[in-house]
């Protein structure tokens, strides 16, 4: 769409100390509006604006998707191969504008069992290169240097640094995998400077790294490129960070679980802010990169229109 305008709004007064809370519930309302100079036809829209029933310590309490302005709307929801909720919306015609409004309530818990996935559940796809995460010469060289440093460090020293609560049943290779995830994520966090407007959602990691500037999806793509080059399966996460007006992106590394042999633990990391995501992060979808989980995409017949987006998020309950 030409002339894209984003008008985010976030309601968050006196931010709480998230690390002291055990539970939080949030309400999110997000709108995408497309306005056209003349009527359009054969609208087909793919929307990924609503979270799944569960994701780690997050549970969906209520969700709704409303379409306004389109004629004879047909809507189909399904789960994609990553477990995300996808809505396919079609309409034969739109006279002036179409608006998609997603509203949902989720609750998040700080305590509880870590999120785990089976080692057989398509993990190899999170090691594969994609157009947005393919490593360039610099990433490959930095990965070799990090790997050499990790292998030159005694396993006991690595364990104290990355697994202070104990290695459990992990062997040396498992400990090194945790170290690679931590070192690779931190490298990505330091690789560029945050700057809006330099890159777009289709900018590859290598280009953002070359420019030295980018936003959250660039940090995530660079981190994914590095972790995968180090042999760590990792996935792109799209969602919301309370306190920020626009949608946010971070990553999840899939690491050998110290206490469940054969299982992989989901370990999130936000390279943009250099933190482990807490209760104030809301997950909407996961995939190999941004392309897999773009919040809105589609096609139509007619003249290009004008796109605007709005978002409101507010706290429902804290404990």
Q: Is 282 within the bounds of a domain?
A: no
Q: Is 84 within the bounds of a domain?
A: yes
pLDDT surpassing 60 at residue 210 = yes
CATH of the domain at 73: 2.60.40.2250
Distance CA 37, CA 2 (A): 12
What's the distance, CA 169 to chain centroid? 30
Q: Are residues 104 and 120 in the same domain?
A: no
Rounded to two decimals, the pTM is: 0.92
Looking at residue 130, its pLDDT comes to 97
pLDDT surpassing 60 at residue 12 = no
Looking at residue 3, its pLDDT comes to 37
Angle at 116 between CA 115 and CA 118, to 5 degrees: 160
Of 11-20, 100-109, 220-229, the least confident: 11-20
Tell which residue, 41, 8, 49, has the closest CA to residue 305.
Answer: 41
- Please give the tally of structural domains in the chain: 2
pLDDT surpassing 60 at residue 11 = no
**10: which residues sit within 8 A by CB, 6+ positions away?**
242, 243, 244, 245, 311, 312, 313
Q: Are 32 and 284 in contact (CB under 8 A)?
A: no
pLDDT surpassing 50 at residue 116 = yes
State percent of the chain over pLDDT 70.
Answer: 94
Q: Are residues 237 and 314 in the same domain?
A: no
Placement of tokens 């030295």 in the chain:
212
What's the distance, CA 128 to chain centroid? 17
Q: Are residues 195 and 67 in the same domain?
A: no
Strands 74-79 and 85-109, by their bridges, are antiparallel
Mean pLDDT for the stretch of residues 212-228: 98
**Helix residue ranges, H only, the chain:** 137-152, 155-162, 172-191, 205-211, 216-229
pLDDT surpassing 80 at residue 2 = no
Distance CA 94, CA 37 (A): 11
Q: Is 285 within the bounds of a domain?
A: no
Q: Are residues 106 and 169 in the same domain?
A: no
- Domain span including residue 304: 2-110+294-318
Q: Are residues 191 and 81 in the same domain?
A: no
Specify the 3-state DSSP secondary structure of 37: coil
Paired tokens of 160 = 């104290």
Q: Are residues 62 and 6 in the same domain?
A: yes
Q: Is 89 within the bounds of a domain?
A: yes
Specify the 3-state DSSP secondary structure of 142: helix
Q: Are residues 134 and 266 in the same domain?
A: yes
Q: Are residues 127 and 209 in the same domain?
A: yes
Q: Are residues 298 and 266 in the same domain?
A: no
Backbone φ, ψ for residue 89 (5° rounding): -115, 135
Residue 238's DSSP bridge partners are 249, 285
Distance CA 182, CA 162 (A): 7
Looking at residue 316, its pLDDT comes to 84
Strands 85-109 and 116-118, by their bridges, are unpaired
Q: Is 305 within the bounds of a domain?
A: yes
Q: Is 68 within the bounds of a domain?
A: yes
pLDDT surpassing 60 at residue 10 = no
Paired tokens of 63 = 């969700």
CATH of the domain at 154: 3.10.620.30
Mean pLDDT for the stretch of residues 236-262: 92
Residue 62 has, within 13 A of its CA and on its CB side, a CA count of 8
Mean pLDDT for the stretch of residues 235-258: 93
Query: How many residues appear in the chain?
Result: 319
Q: Are residues 65 and 165 in the same domain?
A: no
Q: Is 286 within the bounds of a domain?
A: no
Placement of tokens 């070359």 in the chain:
210
Q: Are residues 127 and 269 in the same domain?
A: yes
Q: Are residues 259 and 170 in the same domain?
A: yes
Distance CA 61, CA 279 (A): 16
Q: Is 299 within the bounds of a domain?
A: yes
């Amino acid at each position: 769409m030409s002339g894209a305008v984003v008008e985010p709004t976030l309601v968050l007064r006196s931010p709480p100390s998230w690390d002291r809370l055990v539970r939080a519930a949030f309400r999110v309302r997000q709108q995408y509006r497309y306005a056209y100079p003349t009527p359009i036809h054969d609208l087909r829209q793919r929307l990924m604006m609503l979270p799944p029933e569960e994701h780690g310590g997050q549970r969906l309490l209520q969700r709704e998707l409303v379409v306004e302005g389109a004629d004879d709307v047909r809507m189909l929801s399904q789960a994609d191969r990553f477990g995300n909720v996808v809505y396919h919306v079609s309409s034969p015609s739109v006279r002036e504008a179409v608006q998609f409004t997603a509203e949902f309530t989720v609750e998040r818990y700080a305590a509880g069992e870590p999120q785990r996935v089976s080692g057989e559940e398509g993990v190899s796809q999170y090691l594969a290169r994609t157009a947005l995460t393919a490593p360039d010469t610099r990433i490959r060289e930095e990965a070799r240097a990090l790997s050499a440093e990790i292998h030159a460090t005694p396993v006991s020293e690595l364990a104290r640094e990355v697994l202070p609560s104990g290695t459990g049943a992990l062997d040396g290779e498992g400990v090194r995998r945790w170290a690679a995830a931590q070192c690779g994520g931190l490298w990505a966090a330091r690789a560029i400077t945050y700057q809006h407007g330099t890159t777009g959602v289709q900018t590859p990691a290598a280009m953002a790294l070359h420019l030295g500037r980018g936003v959250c999806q660039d940090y995530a793509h660079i981190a994914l490129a590095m972790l995968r080059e180090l042999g760590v399966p990792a996935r792109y996460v799209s969602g919301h960070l309370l306190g920020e007006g626009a949608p946010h992106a971070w990553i999840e590394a899939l690491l050998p679980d110290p206490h469940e042999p054969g299982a992989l633990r989901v370990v999130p990391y936000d390279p943009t802010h250099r933190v482990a995501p807490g209760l104030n992060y809301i997950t909407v979808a996961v995939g190999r990169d941004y392309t897999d989980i773009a919040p809105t995409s589609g096609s139509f017949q007619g003249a290009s229109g004008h796109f605007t987006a709005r978002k409101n998020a507010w706290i429902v309950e804290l404990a």
